[in-house]
Chains A and B, each alone.
Chain A
Amino acid sequence: MKTLNVNGEPVEVDADDTTPLLWALREQLGLTGTKYGCGIAQCGSCTVHLDGVAVRSCVMPLAAVNENTKITTIEGLSDDGSHPVQQAWAELDVPQCGYCQPGMIMAVAGMLNATPDADDAQIDSQITNICRCGTFQRVREGVHLAKEITLKSKGEMA
């Protein structure tokens, strides 16, 4: 048994250290929002945050995380779908099939954690998730809208 910190809660997983984090999340913890797409870190469907940084969990062995690593999955990004990226995605009706979108949203949220004012060039270099439905145009619009939503909410709080 190993203790992890997932979405702010300590949880126990019963899997060996070579098991990818993706499968521990999906099969040990029932957090199926994180998707399997390729298993070799090519598509990004499995993107989660480790201490706020977007990583591809399909190639992240459990050995690489411990109880002090703050793991955030799509289920923990917000309590109610209200993260600015989720709000923007809802506003623009971004998903088509939707299978890649939890990973896409986590990748975008991770990028905006580090670069809240990410421009198009940064989007191009940092968002490398695959979406076979081809939602990219709305994804790009969604990133810019999420930035606006974030700025507005900060303004309201100030």
Chain B
Amino acid sequence: MNKLFESSKADGLQGALNVSRRGFLVTTSTLGAGLALGMTTRPAASSSMPLDEVNAWVHIATDDTVTIRIARSEMGQGTLTGLAQLVAEELDCDWDKVTYEFPTPGQNVARERVWGDYSTGGSRGLRASQQYVREGGAAAKMMLLQAAADQWGVAASTCSAIDSVITHGPSGRTTTYGAVAANAAALPVPTKVTLRDPADWHIAGKPLKRLDTADKLTGKLVYGADINLPNMLCASIMDCPVMGGKLVSFNESAISAMPGVKGAVAVVTDEGTDGVAVVADTWWQAQSALQKLPIKWDLGPNANYDDATLTAMLEEGLSADEAFVGNWGGDVEAAFASAETTVESVYKCPSQNHAPMEPMNATALFTKDRCEVWCPTQNGEAALAAASAASGLPLNQCEVYKTILGGGFGRRGAGDYVHQAVKIAMAFPGTPIKLQWSREEDQKHGFFHPSTMAKMRGTLDADGNLTGLHMRISGQSILAGLMPHALVEGADYLQFQGVIKAGLNPAMDDHSICYDIPNVLVDHAMRNPPIRPGFWRGVNVNQNTIYMECFLEEMAHAAGRDPLEFRLALMKNQPKSAAVLKAVAEQGGWGKDDGIGRGLAVLHSFGSYVAACAEVTVDEGGNLNMHRIVAATDCGIAVNPQQIEAQVQGSFVYGLSAALYSENTLKNGEIQEDNFHTYPSMKIASMPKVEVIVMPSGGFYGGVGEPTIGVAAPAVLNAIFAATGKRVRQLPMRDQSLRA
């Protein structure tokens, strides 16, 4: 199983999550201030980068257009706009003249990784870059001021700038950034800069509109799927439908006369994929021919695997003797032995595909001495590594051109589709090949949000206080599948997101448990089925928060106590978590007796503190109506409040879509849900109104794209219980009665 993912080790699937933050810190410290201030190697004359850039982060044209370089990917979360705001804040440029570009991963390699980490996931896009991008903007401003001062023969300290206009205080003379940018570029990059206090921000921290909206409204934006190069051919691919299976043969002659068909190519990659692609003038021709291509598969060792096998494996883990421990305190078994009341429940979450709207794709052009790839990727450097590995060419003979992504949600951190595109292109040297997966291929060959189960046991004393809690998680480790080097003596600490003991693993402190429970044990029986696991928006937070937050409500009810008060009693040393919980309870009408079921959930993850209060009713026919959700986020420092609102709202759609409808099942080793008719997604009619409370408490940068997804499902499940008395412990909800 692990062999399938060995090639991921070296590259930047690392970085998809917090757990790799340590790796990130190592990287930055070795590069030192050069990374921060953009002072490493200037671009070579042959580079496509303009030579008159002020520094690596900022290029200013003579007409004052400011181009801010964005290394992270943009997949909908607004990362590029937030990063541009942070640079522009320190640069003090005219925001109305700001645009952006993505420096290529190849340029990053050539310039000693001046733009740092390209990986975009784990809600790290802003919080892991904010320091050095702000320093880049501040350094550029100092250089521009110095250039103007030199021109006027005055001290730079007598000059100031705002909105791209530089003013010499004593004389009142002015010039613009565009007028002095070329001179500024020749100056040494400052080694020390002072950053503005967020309290004084005027561009960052403001609810500015995104920089990338206009072309998304007219169809002009070119996604990876829309790439069109001269003489390009198109490919559609079918990988062995069972993981671990292999292509035996195919009969190309059966399709060679079909319109536009150029050939069929066996595609075997180091990523463990094994299949066949048809190449034609157009994708529709390639796809039509692929449907008619006779293919023989060796379905391999997993040909009989099905969901019952998976479930049995997880159930066994629920009571297995050995498990990795992620949180402990006191003496749980003693607490059970002396308990007044004991409650036990078993929960289960299914496998789920990411299903971004743009199915996987990549375009590759291979010649004997160069390999270029155009693709939507969450990790440009990993895509570059994939191009190099697949083509056998060194990194400096490869290049990746990133497009904006038609959704990522964690799926596009993987490089499987890049490997495939390059392999196909190698069969057509000199001809660009666009590989576009069908939706069916995207569904069957995902990196799935792992199915896990949990056995929850809790104890109460005679006063209804929670005295002990044992959370046993059983299920697949994502790290074991994708990056086994990140395991710690075999343990996957990422598995404990949201419930891990603070201080156990420094990389996981952004996900530490928000309760103080006197006697606690959280452990994980790792059970790895033959399914590719993946980082799926929120990652393990989704399952863990359902288990913890629903079960705590079960305990509150067993104790006859109010679930809000019951939680707060366990949060006396968790003021930030308590604050978001109280905020949603207050705005969400907690405690009202109006026939509406209300449910709560709270979570600390990705460095942020979040909570939700859901309001639902369930009609006589069992139909769920989600009236309103109030969601609060304390992300420390809010870089763009209106984008935070959009992310929180969107995270509820993604999370509730999963909780209501999404499940991938295996039959004879094959994923059964191959398109949206069997893998439904939420539509506008079902989306509850989401009221977003952004309550940044300052002093830290927390993530935004993911945290609130964790509270979406448990808040609604708890509200359903409040409305009907029915406790749903297995997802998805569809096809289950929601009435007691």
Task: Give chain A's interface residues, CB within 8 Å of chain B.
Answer: 15-16, 19-20, 23, 26-28, 30-40, 42-43, 45, 73-75, 77-78, 81, 86, 89-90, 93-102, 105, 123-125, 127-140
Contact with A along B642-670 (1 / 0, CB 8 A): 11001101111110010000000000000
Q: Is the CB of B439 within 8 A of A39?
A: yes
Q: Is the CB of A93 within 8 A of B654?
A: no
Q: Is the CB of B284 within 8 A of A136?
A: no
B438 within 8 Å of A (CB atoms): yes
Q: Is the CB of B649 within 8 A of A35?
A: no
Question: What residue in chain B is nearest A138 (Cβ atoms)?
Answer: B646
Q: Is the CB of B646 within 8 A of A135?
A: yes
Interface pairs (22), CB distance under 8 Å: A16-B259, A20-B284, A27-B234, A30-B228, A37-B357, A40-B676, A42-B677, A75-B218, A93-B213, A95-B216, A98-B213, A98-B404, A123-B684, A125-B685, A127-B683, A129-B684, A130-B676, A131-B357, A133-B407, A135-B649, A137-B689, A140-B684
Q: Is the CB of A134 within 8 A of B675?
A: no
Question: What residue in chain A is nearest B284 (Cβ atoms)?
Answer: A23
- Tell me the complex Cα distance, A150–B405, Å: 32
- Tell me the complex Cα distance, A130–B654, Å: 11
Q: Contacts A36-B225, A130-B676 known; A97 to B407 CB distance under 8 Å?
A: yes
Q: Is the CB of A129 within 8 A of B217?
A: no
Q: Is the CB of A32 within 8 A of B222?
A: yes
Residue with the greatest number of chain B CB neighbours at <10 A, chosen from A125, A131, A139? A131
Given B212, B219, B675, which contacts A38 in the complex, CB threshold below 8 Å?
B675
Q: Is the CB of A38 within 8 A of B676?
A: yes
B436 within 8 Å of A (CB atoms): yes
Q: Is the CB of B219 within 8 A of A99?
A: no
Which segment of B26-34, B74-82, B496-504, B518-526 sits at the interface?
B74-82
- Tell me the complex Cα distance, A56–B690, Å: 29
Extra 17 A-B pairs, beta carbons < 8 Å, given A93-B646, A132-B681, A134-B657 = A23-B283, A31-B219, A32-B219, A32-B222, A33-B218, A42-B675, A43-B676, A98-B76, A98-B404, A99-B406, A102-B219, A127-B684, A132-B654, A133-B76, A134-B651, A134-B682, A140-B684
Q: Report the minimal beta-carbon distance from A133 to chain B, rounded to whole angstroms.
A: 5
- Tell me the complex Cα distance, A140–B219, Å: 20
Give the top 7 A-B pairs by smallest Cβ distance, nearest first.
A33-B219, A134-B653, A99-B406, A97-B76, A98-B216, A134-B650, A96-B76
Q: Contacts A27-B284, A33-B219, A90-B213 known; A129 to B225 CB distance under 8 Å?
A: no
Contacts of B436 on A, CB cut-off 8 Å? 36
Q: Which of B612-654 contact A (CB under 8 A)?
A: 642-643, 646-647, 649-654
Q: Is the CB of B282 within 8 A of A98?
A: no
Q: Is the CB of A81 within 8 A of B209?
A: no
- Tell me the complex Cα distance, A42–B675, Å: 8
Q: Is the CB of A134 within 8 A of B223?
A: no
Q: Is the CB of B220 within 8 A of A33?
A: yes
B355 within 8 Å of A (CB atoms): yes
Contacts of B647 on A, CB cut-off 8 Å? 96
Q: Contacts A27-B283, A99-B358, A123-B684 known; A132 to B219 CB distance under 8 Å?
A: no
Q: Report the minimal beta-carbon distance from A33 to chain B, rounded to whole angstroms.
A: 2
B359 within 8 Å of A (CB atoms): yes
B462 within 8 Å of A (CB atoms): no
Question: What residue in chain A is nearest B78 (Cβ atoms)?
Answer: A96
Contacts of A101 on B, CB cut-off 8 Å? 216-217
Q: Is the CB of B226 within 8 A of A32?
A: yes
Contacts of A35 on B, CB cut-off 8 Å? 223, 225, 357-358, 406
Q: Is the CB of A137 within 8 A of B358?
A: no
Q: Is the interface of B mostly helix, strand, loop or mixed?
A: loop
Question: What residue in chain B is nearest A32 (Cβ atoms)?
Answer: B226
- Tell me the complex Cα distance, A133–B77, Å: 9
Given A23, A31, A37, which contacts B282 in the complex, CB threshold below 8 Å?
A23
Contacts of B651 on A, CB cut-off 8 Å? 134
Contacts of A137 on B, CB cut-off 8 Å? 649, 687, 689-690
- Tell me the complex Cα distance, A136–B515, Å: 34
- What is the total number of residues of chain B having a CB less than 8 Å from a CB of chain A? 61
Q: Which of B199-255 contact A (CB under 8 A)?
A: 209-210, 212-214, 216-223, 225-226, 228, 234
B448 within 8 Å of A (CB atoms): no
Q: Contacts A36-B436, A138-B646 known; A73 to B219 CB distance under 8 Å?
A: yes
B430 within 8 Å of A (CB atoms): no
Contact with A along B350-389 (1 / 0, CB 8 A): 0000011111000000000000000000000000000000
- Tell me the complex Cα distance, A140–B214, Å: 19
Q: Report the minimal beta-carbon distance from B226 to chain A, rounded to whole angstroms.
A: 4
Q: Is the CB of A124 within 8 A of B685?
A: yes
- Tell me the complex Cα distance, A20–B439, Å: 16
Question: What residue in chain A is nearest B640 (Cβ atoms)?
Answer: A93
Contact with A along B398-428 (1 / 0, CB 8 A): 0000001111110000000000000000000
Q: Contacts A98-B221, A99-B223, A99-B358 known; A132 to B407 CB distance under 8 Å?
A: yes
Question: What residue in chain B is nearest A89 (Cβ atoms)?
Answer: B217
Q: Is the CB of A132 within 8 A of B355?
A: yes
Contacts of A45 on B, CB cut-off 8 Å? 357
- Tell me the complex Cα distance, A27–B223, Å: 14
- Tell me the complex Cα distance, A150–B647, Å: 29
Given B217, B223, B356, B685, which contacts A86 in the complex, CB threshold below 8 Å?
B217
- Tell me the complex Cα distance, A78–B219, Å: 11
Contacts of A32 on B, CB cut-off 8 Å? 219, 222, 225-226, 228
Q: Is the CB of B209 within 8 A of A93?
A: yes
Contacts of B643 on A, CB cut-off 8 Å? 93
Q: Is the CB of A27 within 8 A of B355?
A: no
- Tell me the complex Cα distance, A81–B209, Å: 17
Q: Report the minimal beta-carbon distance from B656 to chain A, rounded to whole angstroms.
A: 9
Residue with the greatest number of chain A CB neighbours at <10 A, chosen from B77, B356, B357? B357
Contacts of B220 on A, CB cut-off 8 Å? 33, 75
- Tell me the complex Cα distance, A27–B236, Å: 14
- Tell me the complex Cα distance, A156–B632, Å: 42
Given B209, B219, B676, which contacts A34 in the complex, CB threshold below 8 Å?
B219
Q: Is the CB of A38 within 8 A of B642?
A: no
Contacts of A138 on B, CB cut-off 8 Å? 646, 649
Q: Is the CB of A39 within 8 A of B438?
A: yes
Contacts of B650 on A, CB cut-off 8 Å? 96, 133-135
Q: Is the CB of A27 within 8 A of B282?
A: yes
Contacts of B646 on A, CB cut-off 8 Å? 93, 96, 135, 138
- Tell me the complex Cα distance, A129–B687, Å: 13
